[in-house]
Structure 1
Amino acid sequence: MKLLDMSYGRTTYQVTLHSSPLFEAALGIAAATYDKIHPTLEKPREYWLAMIDALPPDVKTELDYAKRHNTWKTLLQLLHNGPFPDPDAFLSYLEGLSEQQLRLEALPYLGSERQEARHRSSTGDRQAVEELLQACAGHNFFPAYITHVSEVDASDLRRHLLTLFQGWYGIHVRPREAELRSLLARDCDQKRAMLQKLSPEALVEWATGRKYPPEPSVGRVLLVPHTLYRPWTIQADAPGTKVFYYPVADENMAEQIDPYRPPQLLVQAYKALGDEHRLRIARLLAERAHSLQELTERMDMAKSTLHHHLSMLRSARLIEMEASKYQLRRTSVDQLSLFLSEYLDKDCCR
């Protein structure tokens, strides 16, 4: 069958960035209530225990409630209705929501085709709630979360969110609010400066460490930097928008920025390529994807040694695995000269 293609073609998305200590507070609550992830975070478990212990009793009670019902998700979704200049503006917005609107904003976005069910669920329509539950049946926590949001008294949910956010922000964010604003804004500025030099897909991959190809229903990608959930990138959905809460780059984490300190990823990349064996691996993967066994045979080395080389290349984001095979991240390799030039040509270094 013949096809006459009169479509415009596949378009990409627009990237926007937003930094705010308000997101840092909500993500801090999320991390504090997720015990299983603590061993993988940069901050040790003792840090999180101390954060919890520093809270007043009433806020601890609400944090435990958030741990049982994942209501940090509600806070994040509400924050996307900003931007809010400060916590008072956000809390005032939360207080002014009607009960039905609060439920609607709390319910997760499950795609445009389920927006009607989402709206009906916020009014107490049990059939609509069941539709949402079926749509996310395999999700880690959405079914229990949706059930709770649809059943809890909205006034109790509002009180819980107000007490939890105000308490956490006052204890853990406000004392270093100015420092956080500066740090988060600095990382956003770094990414914005590259908007004219990288494609939207390349910028998202650079910031998050993950590829995100365009989707027909997503016209915007929102990038929100964070410090507390490092090294994780958290992905979420909103109407027409994909949200990535991404970790602030290593070079932007210091209180005093050394303009001569190179970005950690740049150092890792050149270290990874500064070895004959790893360059040979990159050359092989530039031709085609290889399995571990194929690389072992081609490189003629022990698997343990090969694993070491592959680990360095993966840490530098130069290679990746797909369908049990290693492949070169060609975009990352092609960008190395750009990032090196950006570092060498910084105005502050002249």
Structure 2
Amino acid sequence: MKMMDAALAEETIQLAVEQSAVWEWSVGIAGYTHGQLRHTFEMDEEWTRDAETMPASLVELLEKMQETNLWYGLLLLQNKFGARSVEEFAERLADISDERFYDYLLPYHSRAAEALREQAAQHPSDGGVWGPYADLFEGHAYLAGYVRQLHSHTRAQLSEWFIGVLTEWQDWMMQKPYIATWLQALVFEEKQYRGLDPANAQKEIERVTGADYAPEPSIWSVKLIPHVSYRPWTLTIRTADVKLFFYPVSEQQLLDPEVPPNELIQGHKALGDGLRLNVLYQLRQAPASLQDLSTQFQMSKTTLHHQLALLKAAKFVQVEKGVYSIRLEKLEAFSELLNRYLNRSE
């Protein structure tokens, strides 16, 4: 039987690291107002200490964000806007129609519920539609209440809160002595991961964020958003067609750029020996047990075990059921780390 293949070329997702001060302010507001998890954030102690210097108007706005979970709306709006500044965010917010306003803010539930979500966006005052859509999120930590809060306030009121909290949070954060380093680290993070390979999205997402990701139906864009405020957590959000990973930048990014990462120092120590390099070479050919290596190198198991322990500590080898094997992905990542350090000032 003859067959004609008229299918178009297979599409790949869009994959990119995206950063801006607006993303950092939004994530910071989300972390600050996350009552259940806030004590686990690296910034919690400082936030608690500095709360006394916070303007009363900002305190009130943050309490409103916590009460309504509208921090989630900030993230959804910024996903659509991609604003580089609070001023641009405000302009984009003012320019969109009411339908788009609510379409951007209403969270995704499922493909089966998309028609109901779109209907709610088109009829913001129709409680007969909004109620059932909110009910779909019952049991979720905050989304059911968030949807009801969107419905119970006017667009003007919501917009005022969004712009107010972003503006005042930015003003407060810009007074911090470390904020220039933070913003520089975010810019560098975006720069170093330009040109990600969407054909190998799973591997690239794991390389950048450390998170496992399995492709999802209807997701055509994946954004990797570096942050500092939400450290050490990785936050994930999905919309109808976009998956967002908010991942913490490494601690080294926040240090003096002239100071080499400890991982780089330890890795070079592990590689700075002829015997250990030879062991890596042999493991590159095939996995081997300690007995195999001892025979091959005509060396005591104690001596080889020590050398292997140094390589294992540097994450260049792994052992499973007594068999050692090389971790090529870690060696490749180590080379990238060296290149990033040497080129950091460019």
Same fold (TM > 0.5): yes
| Residue of structure 2 equivalent to 1:295 | none
Amino acid at match of 1:336: K
What per-residue deviation string (whole Å, max 9, x for no partner) do you get for residues 144-181 of structure 1? 11111112222221222222111111111476665433
Cα 1:141–1:345 change in 2 (3 A) is closer
Distance in 2 (CA, whole Å) between partners of 1:148 and 1:163 is: 17
Q: Secondary structure at the match of 1:81?
A: helix
| Residue of structure 2 equivalent to 1:278 | none
Matches within 5 A, 1:172-251: 172-173=173-174, 178-192=180-194, 195=196, 199-251=200-252
| Residue of structure 1 equivalent to 2:335 | 341
Distance in 1 (CA, whole Å) between partners of 2:171 and 2:91 is: 16
Cα 1:179–1:344 change in 2 (3 A) is closer
| Residue of structure 2 equivalent to 1:114 | 113
Distance in 2 (CA, whole Å) between partners of 1:21 and 1:74 is: 17
Amino acid at match of 1:184: L
Amino acid at match of 1:338: E
The Cα of 1:348 is off from its aligned counterpart by: 2.8
Q: Secondary structure at the match of 2:81?
A: coil
Amino acid at match of 1:208: T
Answer yes or no: is the 8 Å Cα contact 1:187–1:249 preserved in 2: no
What per-residue deviation string (whole Å, max 9, x for no partner) do you get for residues 179-203 of structure 1? 433210111222336x259932112
Q: Structure 2: 5+ residue runs without aligned partners? A: 272-286, 288-308
Q: Structure 1: 5+ residue runs without aligned partners? A: 272-285, 287-308, 320-325
| Residue of structure 2 equivalent to 1:305 | none
The Cα of 1:343 is off from its aligned counterpart by: 3.6
What per-residue deviation string (whole Å, max 9, x for no partner) do you get for residues 213-261 of structure 1? 112211221001000111100000123110001101222122x213743
Cα 1:143–1:196 change in 2 (3 A) is closer
The Cα of 1:82 is off from its aligned counterpart by: 2.1
Q: TM-score, normalised by structure 1?
A: 0.71
Matches within 5 A, 1:1-350: 13-43=13-43, 45-122=44-121, 123=123, 124-173=125-174, 178-192=180-194, 195=196, 199-254=200-255, 256-258=256-258, 260-261=260-261, 263=263, 333-344=327-338, 348=342
Amino acid at match of 2:184: S
Q: Secondary structure at the match of 1:77?
A: helix
Distance in 2 (CA, whole Å) between partners of 1:35 and 1:88 is: 28
Distance in 2 (CA, whole Å) between partners of 1:63 and 1:71 is: 10
Answer yes or no: is the 8 Å Cα contact 1:17–1:222 preserved in 2: yes
Amino acid at match of 1:77: L
Distance in 1 (CA, whole Å) between partners of 2:263 and 2:152 is: 48
Q: Percent identity?
A: 21
Distance in 2 (CA, whole Å) between partners of 1:225 and 1:205 is: 14
Distance in 2 (CA, whole Å) between partners of 1:136 and 1:252 is: 38
Answer yes or no: is the 8 Å Cα contact 1:137–1:143 preserved in 2: yes
Answer yes or no: is the 8 Å Cα contact 1:55–1:168 preserved in 2: no
Answer yes or no: is the 8 Å Cα contact 1:21–1:177 preserved in 2: no
Cα 1:265–1:347 change in 2 (3 A) is closer
